[in-house]
Amino acid sequence: MRIALTVAGSDPTGGAGLQMDLQVFRHFGVHGAASVTALTLQDTTGVHQVLPVFPSVAADQLRRLVADVRPHAVKLGMLASDDVLRNIDLSLDLLERGPDPRTPAGLPPLVIDPVLMASDGTTLLERRAWPGLQGLCARAALVTPNRPEALELTGIDASTRKGAEAAARFFVEEFGAQATLVKGGHASEDAADCLAERADGETKVTWLEGERIPGDPVHGTGCALSAAATARLAHGDSILLAVTAARAFVRDAIENAHAIGAGARVLGFGGTR
């Protein structure tokens, strides 16, 4: 059984966050392990309060877990605070070292979904933690910012294709990520995603075309995409194959989205792939 670990905040609606990640992992035939970084008070209309866990608890639950269970891929979602982020970063060292320090195991593929703010504007990672998140990118096999997140973290206006490509390259060439997918869901002209990968000392850029799907807002698309990519990486896929499968999964889930409350719709999917 392949194992994927999500380190993320809780969403009581099940439409995003840790709960969504676990649903997606199961969909892709991966056992989901989870370490919670924050509790939230939210419903389908928005996030009303964010309550980070004690930083020591965030570290201890992750350290205890990875000392016993070695995941084949890891996703970092909402980290909430600078103290939580720094403790998670230190805890990843244990996973990288493995059970025997004499023979380091190496960090499994790490996917970072740089969750900064909710769609309603609620802060999900305090600003003083953003430099720490930038530093974490050097550990990442894949970082999956949307275009506003790319702007905030790189300072590059990613609203156009030219800007999105420049931002994707920045994550790879300046922050040290192995690959970055700058998502186009917030773009005005199209919904294409820009994938930048480090290959043979150069940065390879691939544009993945997409069409905007009409309808009311859908909650949790970013969480689902990064979780799906994590699951596929746990199965051993390349970055491109993992991203391609994740995009197809999210598109299908958006097309089957449904309302469970008074606010945004939740993704619709089922079965195992």
- Counting Cα atoms < 13 Å in the Cβ hemisphere of 98 gives 10
Domain spanning 3-266 has what CATH number? 3.40.1190.20
Residues of the chain with pLDDT under 70: 100-103, 186-189, 270-273
Task: Give the model's pLDDT for residue 273.
Answer: 54
Measured CA to CA, the distance from residue 259 to residue 46 in angstroms comes to 14
Considering Cα of 142, then 147, then 148, then 154, what sign does the dihedral take?
A: positive
Q: Which two tokens stand for residue 132?
A: 């720490």
CB count within 10 Å of CB 90 equals 13
- Name the strand (E) or helix (H) holding 31: strand 31-43
Task: Give the model's pLDDT for residue 102.
Answer: 67
Task: Give the model's pLDDT for residue 136.
Answer: 97
- Start-end of H helices in the chain: 17-27, 55-68, 82-97, 130-136, 147-154, 161-173, 221-234, 239-255
Task: Give the model's pLDDT for residue 153.
Answer: 98
Task: Give the model's pLDDT for residue 96.
Answer: 85
